């Protein structure tokens, strides 16, 4: 593994690119002895400690450890270490934290500085050398030279390895922004602070307006996902509908766009996270009073969705030109966020599988398909997903209330059983059983 290579690229809040080969210890900080030092004129450099963090690049992995920094070391939004009350930290004496293993595509937050990580093994290095003889274009995700077959009609493209990575998709969008691509104008003046969450098809980042300090959430879908026509249309449909929806209990979407196969939309940031995360933070379950403070406002949001007019959101459905009412079809605690003042305002999010139900219009449902979450799904929705009405959202809201107060869903889902069979055959438990 002698060819293992680490590449650190300043993503926002700084500038620079650094490459290291193993075995190597890489010191990051403001001290002149550091291996990674942002330019001294960079205004955010003061948020970096003199001895901030160290990366140990060995034969099999790279591990980052905080050295007792003032502002902490974050990997993909998770804190790995920061300064405590030990006076040694003030004098710059390294104090090693537990550390975190790094992977290709990770994002590091060191104070206000953001770095993206590329880790290349021997095969990657050899492939890069061969590709360099045939192509002149680099992948924005990992910096490797692209193979001719990987270069698209866009000025920037991701390599095969990076096409499924939402973090790499963000780098692709940033590369397009540097080229002043008009479709990316809504991303101007944004600083990416950290990764908020990552799912099967997308990732969400915290973005900050440099001129005002306003915080937004940036949702990014990578090219490999957008290659799927249904997934791409679901993503864009959610963005288009969400931008028109305006209710205090529905997450606002402000703008959306795409470049090089990567799709994004900017939406309201909810600092309280999801109600599911809140339940976990509170010890696993909430009191009925606490849970109702979340679910009742969410019902207000559902009432708005169930009565909004199709024309209001600018969606054309030839099957139901006068349809009224949007059914969410995937309501659950993880889709009820806490935003607004003091992070206490419940807000419904993720309407990608929602549909207008008036006149039987599906708007965006494949025949025979079932989407959503079995844990909060009533039996009639699983039986007839395409024509599900508002009542399935009300059932899901009740199932969400059940989860918040008990820590469990109404039905049990043993790992040995098909969850859809559980929905079709098993009756929900009574809350008193738990």
If you write DSSP's letter for every residue of 126-147 in order, what string do you get?
Answer: HHHHHHHTT---B-TTT-PBPP
Residue with tokens 């997450």: 251
Q: How far apart are CA 230 and CA 237, in angstroms?
A: 10
Residue with tokens 């939309």: 265
Q: Is the peptide bond before 68 cis (omega within 30 degrees of 0)?
A: no
pTM of the model: 0.64
How distant, in Å, are the alpha carbons of 314, 349, 423 from that of 285? 40, 21, 23
Q: What are phi and psi of 233, to 5 degrees?
A: -65, -35
Q: How far apart are CA 337 and CA 339, in angstroms?
A: 6
Measured in whole angstroms, how far is the alpha carbon of residue 322 from the centre of its chain?
34
Q: What are phi and psi of 231, to 5 degrees?
A: -65, -40
Q: How far apart are CA 63 and CA 74, in angstroms?
A: 13
Rounded to the nearest 10 degrees, the angle between the axes of helix 288-307 and helix 390-406 is: 160
| Residues ≥6 apart with Cβ < 8 Å to 218 | 170, 187, 190, 192, 204, 205, 206, 207, 264, 265, 266, 267
DSSP 8-class letter at 427: P
| pLDDT value of position 15 | 59
* Tens place of pLDDT per residue across the chain (434 aa): 445 788 898 865 455 788 888 888 899 998 888 999 877 666 678 889 988 999 988 877 889 999 888 888 988 777 888 876 555 444 444 455 568 889 877 888 888 888 888 887 766 555 544 443 443 488 999 988 888 777 776 678 899 899 999 999 999 999 988 888 878 889 999 999 999 988 777 899 999 999 999 999 999 999 988 888 777 777 777 787 888 899 999 999 999 888 888 999 999 999 999 999 999 999 999 999 999 999 999 999 999 999 987 655 544 444 445 557 888 889 999 999 999 877 789 999 988 656 666 544 444 444 344 556 889 998 888 877 667 789 999 999 999 999 999 999 999 999 889 988 899 899 999 999 88
């Amino acid at each position: 593994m002698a060819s293992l290579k680490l590449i650190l690229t300043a993503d926002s809040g700084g500038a620079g690119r650094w490459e290291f080969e193993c075995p190597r210890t890489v010191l990051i900080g403001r001290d002149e002895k550091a291996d990674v030092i942002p330019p001294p004129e960079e205004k955010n450099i003061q948020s970096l400690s003199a001895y901030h963090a160290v990366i140990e690049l060995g034969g099999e992995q790279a591990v980052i450890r905080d050295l007792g920094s003032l502002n902490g070391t974050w990997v993909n939004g998770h804190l790995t270490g920061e300064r405590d009350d030990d006076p040694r930290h003030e004098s710059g004496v390294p104090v090693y934290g537990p550390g975190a293993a790094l992977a290709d595509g990770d994002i590091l937050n060191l104070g206000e500085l953001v770095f993206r990580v590329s880790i290349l093994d021997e095969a990657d290095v050899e492939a890069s050398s061969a590709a360099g003889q045939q192509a002149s274009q680099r992948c924005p995700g990992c910096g490797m030279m692209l193979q001719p077959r990987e270069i698209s009609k866009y000025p920037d493209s991701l390599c095969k390895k990076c096409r499924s990575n939402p973090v790499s998709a963000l780098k692709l969008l940033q590369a397009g922004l540097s080229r002043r691509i008009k479709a990316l104008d809504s991303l101007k003046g944004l600083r990416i602070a950290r990764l908020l969450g990552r799912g099967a098809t997308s990732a969400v980042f915290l973005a900050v307006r440099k001129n005002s300090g306003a915080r937004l959430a940036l949702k990014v879908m990578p090219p490999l996902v957008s290659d799927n026509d249904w997934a791409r249309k679901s993503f864009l449909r959610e963005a288009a509908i969400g931008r028109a929806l305006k209710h205090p209990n529905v997450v606002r979407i402000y703008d959306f766009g795409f470049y090089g196969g990567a799709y994004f939309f900017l939406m309201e940031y909810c600092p309280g996270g999801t109600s599911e995360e809140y339940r976990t933070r509170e010890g696993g379950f909430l009191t009925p009073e606490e849970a109702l403070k979340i679910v009742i406002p969410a019902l207000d949001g559902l009432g708005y969705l169930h009565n909004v007019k199709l024309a209001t959101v600018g969606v054309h459905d030839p099957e139901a030109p006068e349809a009224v009412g949007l059914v969410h079809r995937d309501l659950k605690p993880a889709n009820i966020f806490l935003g607004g003042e003091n992070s206490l305002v419940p807000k419904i999010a993720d309407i990608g599988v929602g549909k207008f139900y008036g006149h039987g219009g599906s708007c965006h449902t494949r025949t025979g398909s079932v989407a959503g979450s079995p844990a909060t799904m009533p039996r009639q929705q699983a039986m007839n997903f395409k024509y599900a009405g508002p009542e399935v959202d009300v059932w899901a809201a009740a199932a969400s209330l059940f989860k918040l107060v008990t820590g469990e869903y109404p039905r049990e889902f043993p790992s040995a059983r098909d969850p859809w069979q559980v929905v079709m055959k098993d009756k929900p438990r009574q809350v008193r059983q738990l």
